[in-house]
Structure 1
Amino acid sequence: MAVSSNSSLSGSSLSSDPDDYQPPIWKSYLYQLQQEAPRPKRVTCPQEMETRPKYYGREFHGIISREHADELLGGVEGAYLIRESQRQPGTCTLALRFGHQSLNYRLFYDGKHFVGEKRFESVHDLVTDALITLYIETKAAEYIAKMTTNPIYEHLGYTSLLKDKTVHRLNRIRTEPRRVTFQPEEKITSPAVHKTALKDAPEKQCSYEKIHNFKVHTFRGPHWCEYCANFMWGLIAQGVRCSDCGLNVHKQCSKLVPSDCQPDLRRIKKVFSCDLTTLVKAHNTTRPMVVDMCIREIELRGMKSEGLYRVSGFTEHLEDARLAFDRDGDKADIGASAFADINIIAGVLKLYLRDLPIPVITFELYSKFIQSAKLPDPESRLEAIHEALLMLPPAHYETLRYLMAHLKRVTMFEKDNLMNAENLGIVFGPTLMQPPELNALTTLNDMRQQKSVVQLMIENEDVLF
């Protein structure tokens, strides 16, 4: 059985063109089962128990046997009580009547009541949720096993909205200055050969895929899964919500949702410490706007500044600039009137890159880049770095490409700023790449390779990207 409903019933924050959008059909079978589930019936203890923990009520019966608990439940569906274990004094058990039998669960309390993953404010809520879950999983086990086989995900308007944004972004990318990359099977021989061979090579496609950032969520009021269209049952933690785009699905359905998260700017709390791909997709740009804005400002008025990127700005001014980005996003004012010292802008750029939860050179590829830098043969070393670059996520690759082109231009003013590729490698090595496990010895041992990787990328920027 199915009922028609509008999209607001699901709690979705996504919508498409109202002229094209058709309300999905929400499947109400599981909702009806929840309504039919037995209601909890507390079996109270006739006398006050001195040993009763303060967080239990009259449902606590002290030390009694399973058999006695079964008698007290009286064969009534939904009846429950709490007893103290005879074998393990001090531990409590929830006795619950369901399906014409008595079920016993070890009961815990840590500020909230729980027998499994879910935590409840009261035992009554715990039992209510348990009865709903037991009833639905008993009555609809076969239905639940098959409910993900015919998803309505592509008909919700979510994917059509995503496609529109993707087409818009790719059209903008195509209008930007053309760049070239190696073909994956190419071998590096010499810079001269490469510059000739790369003239007609296709540019790297920016597919900017992003997985959803699902977190367990408690929904207030009826909610339906935006993947399978089935009701999300239970009192709390009924499913998961993507904290970046707001998609609501069952936990089991979340494993089947495509990697096509389109973050919503209203859900992105800040710019700094936000995942690079998330920020890029939220702003619908090819690179983080922090990188673009800072580099634009530096190239406008700071390329000849002595010690550029090496000289630190005042900490409080760096914090002011960071807060400006977090508060105002791409409307942040980082011009000369706001921050006269260009070292503040350079410092903010480094701070942004250093604070990324996943570095520009990702944790997964860290060792590949380090091992590439250790190769004795210059051509093999360059080829290995190139292969590693092609494995970066598109947003990370594009950010690195843009940054290296900028740093290459910085070295052209070495006479004034005293910053060559090696000096910039020392500065940006630890900023762009960090070992997966924070180990001081590993970091110290890898510093030379970190510097070498960045130095090689700057010196060979026109070949590697």
Structure 2
Amino acid sequence: MLRSVAVNAEPSSPMQKVWKPELYKIQLEAPTPKLLHRTRPLPTNNTNAEPHCYGPEYHGVMGHIKAEQLLSNKQDGTYLLRRSPNAIDYFTLSVRFNKRTKHFKIYYQRGKGHYLLEQSKHYDTIHDLVADGLVNFYMQLHAAPIILQINQQTRNCYQQSPYMTLNRRKLRALSHELGKSIVAAKGNCEVEPNANADINSIIKNANITQSNEILTAVKDNINDAGDTILPLVYEKAHTFKVHNFKGLNWCEFCANFLWGFTAQGMKCEACGFMAHFKCAELVPAKCVPDMKRIRGVFGTDLTTVVQLYQSSVPFVVRRCVEEVEARGMLQEGIYRVSGFADEIDALKLGLDRDGEKTDMSEGAYGNVNVIAGTLKLYLRLLPVPLITFQAYPSFMQAARSTSVAEQIRNMTEAAKRLPPAHYNCLKFMAEHLKKVASHYAANKMNEHNLATVFAPTLIATPQHMTNLTEEIFMLSTLITNCGEIFV
């Protein structure tokens, strides 16, 4: 007899059972595939010839009436494959379920396997396809009330989810660190447990825009020395992908079994969160990335990187900027002159593999343009540009303002639309580029020249766009006035 898996829930957690096994029990009762073997050889004509992708389940050209006669009085799950008389590019699967025969058009493509045209699932064998179909038929017939209840759940279930139960300590620690970083952003790193800090003001100035629930949590985190369970104080969307689960797995949102034979649900590539297809739509954007799931930092979401390394700016950006400011400020054409591509690739590989331990000294990379090129490459490979798709229109509109004062005011508001990781990194880069521009007499790179180099890298511009005049002007204005824009 299967029992629910349980954990020692913490006193403040209403979650006692991690896994509700009702759906699993129902799936165990589903019929299994039973191949109806062909009893006589197929005719030798081309129409009836056995396709290379099928075996003894194929019965040649056969109408649905004949198929139903063969399957009548057979056990649920019995199936055969045939070619309908008028079929051209498909075969027909006939399967017995609930004392009735169902017929489906089946397609096959080398490299993709067997599939139904209206579904995205692909199967290695017809047996797998039938097994998955029988489970889903049975669940729809016998588990409909439970599935309906799952689909009607709200986001509030997240706080009582297995994910929160099993990761509560980790989430509390992250919330505590992020709460302290918010205070540090205000320049007040040491806060006593009962200090009367203006947390709302701190969060506003640190560009943390969250719900009242999150604001309350941050206040409790800073002002309460107790062991409060806290939600995260940042937002990062999960990167859900359809996943084939092996063995018994459950949804970490609703605690119900992930039913099905294959492609049972979704899994986050960054943190491993597992969920039903419908539950994945309800999971809030609070992904806690797991280091072992992230392959390198180049091409990885900016929010993920800063969360993994618990920093306000990605270490790649910080290390490259430090090297450029140490030995490249007087280099003519810095950021405009390209470094050697093979050395940039080598440095990229090293940063992905060794992280902050990577040797970027002058002894390892004597040409500072390699460092500058690596920084541009990192920013160019971000899946979401530093100036995000959502914030881009606001920045462009701000640049069109009639006066400098209005441009600064509107760009300040536009910057607040950025996620915290993007805001901090853009501020860091703008301040760095302004320092570079201050050495224009030696390096020949003023704000406009630097904006020309970085506009295609930092801004979410369409690939076909070649005229970036407005974008360059906007970025040049941002660099020039970064001290006033990023308060």
Q: What range is the shorter-chain TM-score in?
A: 0.7 to 0.9
Match among 154, 157, 176 for residue 167 of structure 1: 176
Alpha-carbon distance in structure 2 between the residues aligned to 1:385 and 1:2: 59
Counterpart in the other structure of 2:3: 3
Alpha-carbon distance in structure 2 between the residues aligned to 1:16 and 1:319: 48
Counterpart in the other structure of 2:25: 32
Equivalent positions of 1:423-438 (< 5 A) are 423-435=449-461, 437-438=462-463
Alpha-carbon distance in structure 1 between the residues aligned to 2:16 and 2:360: 45
Question: Residue by residue, what CA displacement relative to the aligned partner does 1:67-104 show, whole Å, maximum 9, x if unpaired?
Answer: 11111012321111112112324531111111121111
Question: Residue by residue, what CA displacement relative to the aligned partner does 1:194-225 show, whole Å, maximum 9, x if unpaired?
Answer: xxxx9xx9443375310111111111111111
Q: 1:381 to 1:177 in 2, by over 3 A?
A: closer
Aligned pair 1:273/2:299, yes or no?
A: yes
Equivalent positions of 1:18-417 (< 5 A) are 24-49=17-42, 50=44, 51-76=49-74, 77-111=76-110, 112-115=113-116, 116-147=119-150, 149=153, 152-153=161-162, 155-175=164-184, 178=187, 202-205=205-208, 207-417=233-443
Superposed displacement of residue 344, structure 1: 1.4
Superposed displacement of residue 22, structure 1: 8.5
Alpha-carbon distance in structure 2 between the residues aligned to 1:16 and 1:163: 15
Residue pair 2:236, 2:287 contacting (<8 A) in 1 also:
yes
TM-score normalised by the chain length of structure 1: 0.86
Q: 1:70 to 1:139 in 2, by over 3 A?
A: same
Alpha-carbon distance in structure 2 between the residues aligned to 1:141 and 1:414: 70
Superposed displacement of residue 164, structure 1: 1.6
Q: 1:203 to 1:123 in 2, by over 3 A?
A: closer
Residue pair 2:4, 2:21 contacting (<8 A) in 1 also:
no
Secondary structure in 2 matching 1:103: strand
Alpha-carbon distance in structure 1 between the residues aligned to 2:35 and 2:176: 58
Q: 1:230 to 1:2 in 2, by over 3 A?
A: farther
Alpha-carbon distance in structure 2 between the residues aligned to 1:234 and 1:161: 31
Counterpart in the other structure of 1:444: 466
Alpha-carbon distance in structure 2 between the residues aligned to 1:168 and 1:365: 27
Which residue identity does 1:104 align to in structure 2? H
Counterpart in the other structure of 2:212: none
Alpha-carbon distance in structure 2 between the residues aligned to 1:259 and 1:35: 34
Alpha-carbon distance in structure 1 between the residues aligned to 2:249 and 2:207: 41
Which residue identity does 2:294 align to in structure 1? I
Superposed displacement of residue 410, structure 1: 1.7
Secondary structure in 1 matching 2:390: helix
Question: Residue by residue, what CA displacement relative to the aligned partner does 1:300-331 show, whole Å, maximum 9, x if unpaired?
Answer: 22222222222221111111111111111222
Which residue identity does 1:343 align to in structure 2? N
Residue pair 2:245, 2:262 contacting (<8 A) in 1 also:
yes
Residue pair 1:153, 1:159 contacting (<8 A) in 2 also:
no
Secondary structure in 2 matching 1:124: helix
Alpha-carbon distance in structure 1 between the residues aligned to 2:286 and 2:167: 10
Question: Residue by residue, what CA displacement relative to the aligned partner does 1:171-206 show, whole Å, maximum 9, x if unpaired?
Answer: 145336739xxxxxxxxxxxxxxxxxx9xx944337
User: Which deviates more, 109-118 or 261-270?
Assistant: 109-118
Q: 1:332 to 1:173 in 2, by over 3 A?
A: farther
Secondary structure in 2 matching 1:97: strand
Alpha-carbon distance in structure 2 between the residues aligned to 1:313 and 1:16: 55
Alpha-carbon distance in structure 2 between the residues aligned to 1:130 and 1:224: 20
Which residue identity does 2:482 align to in structure 1? E
Superposed displacement of residue 359, structure 1: 0.9
Q: 1:167 to 1:205 in 2, by over 3 A?
A: same
Which residue identity does 2:431 align to in structure 1? A
Secondary structure in 2 matching 1:415: helix
Superposed displacement of residue 23, structure 1: 7.2
Counterpart in the other structure of 1:185: none
Secondary structure in 2 matching 1:364: coil
Residue pair 2:15, 2:162 contacting (<8 A) in 1 also:
no
User: Which deviates more, 153-162 or 27-36?
Assistant: 153-162
Residue pair 1:372, 1:381 contacting (<8 A) in 2 also:
yes
Secondary structure in 2 matching 1:156: helix
Counterpart in the other structure of 2:213: none
Residue pair 1:308, 1:417 contacting (<8 A) in 2 also:
yes
Question: Residue by residue, what CA displacement relative to the aligned partner does 1:127-160 show, whole Å, maximum 9, x if unpaired?
Answer: 1111111111110101111035355246423354
Higher RCO (CA < 8 A, seq sep 6+): 1
Alpha-carbon distance in structure 2 between the residues aligned to 1:321 and 1:173: 32
User: Which deviates more, 44-53 or 347-356?
Assistant: 44-53
Alpha-carbon distance in structure 1 between the residues aligned to 2:181 and 2:410: 31
Superposed displacement of residue 401, structure 1: 0.5
Superposed displacement of residue 374, structure 1: 3.3
Residue pair 1:212, 1:259 contacting (<8 A) in 2 also:
yes
**Residue correspondences, number:** 432
